[in-house]
Amino acid sequence: MKQYSYTLTEVGDRVNRLYAFALEPNSIKLNILSTFNYSDLKNRYWHLTSSDPFELTYLHGIVSKCYGCDKKYTDINRKPPFDVIIKHLEVRPRFSKDKKKWYISANKETSNAYYHLQTDCVQKVHPNFKAGDIIITNELRQTLSEEHRHYLTNLGIEL
């Protein structure tokens, strides 16, 4: 008999994936439009991108609301030091105007989603997220002002 060794986190990830698959109705397994609402679909597929990096980025023009809490970014969020947010690849629900239903694309297509720089916003979609999971690229790090650095340090984010 072959023996395997897994960490508790790895076991949890595997259980979550099996659980999510078991709960999928046959219509989703067959890539047919879903009758679930937006939030159900968003929370059902988080595990597919949980190993992708959570990256610090600047809030830019077309980004309008947080993927976690669904609140719009305000003018305050667009001014330093509050203009830094979290970017992450997500399997995002799409809306079919013809059938008036939310669905996940057949190939589980991903696109960037953006979150407030708050763990509770990210944890609404990724329950295992911690502030230490945030990656800051060297390129972004070089553009951060002292005000940004102070703000991030106060949030417990290591530079």
**Higher confidence at residue 113 or residue 98?**
113
pTM over 0.75: no
| Residue 133: inside a domain | yes
- Decide: 154 and 125 in contact? Cβ < 8 Å: no
| Residue 2: inside a domain | no
Domain total of the chain: 1
Give me the residue label for tokens 């190993």.
51
Residue 22: helix, strand or coil by DSSP? helix
| Residue 1: inside a domain | no
| Residue 3: inside a domain | no
| Residue 77: inside a domain | yes
| Residue 128: inside a domain | yes
Range of the domain at 84: 8-154
pLDDT tops 80 at residue 148: yes
pLDDT tops 80 at residue 84: yes
Confidence of residue 110 (pLDDT cuts 50, 70, 90): confident
Confidence of residue 68 (pLDDT cuts 50, 70, 90): very high
Cα gap 130→156, rounded to integer Å: 11
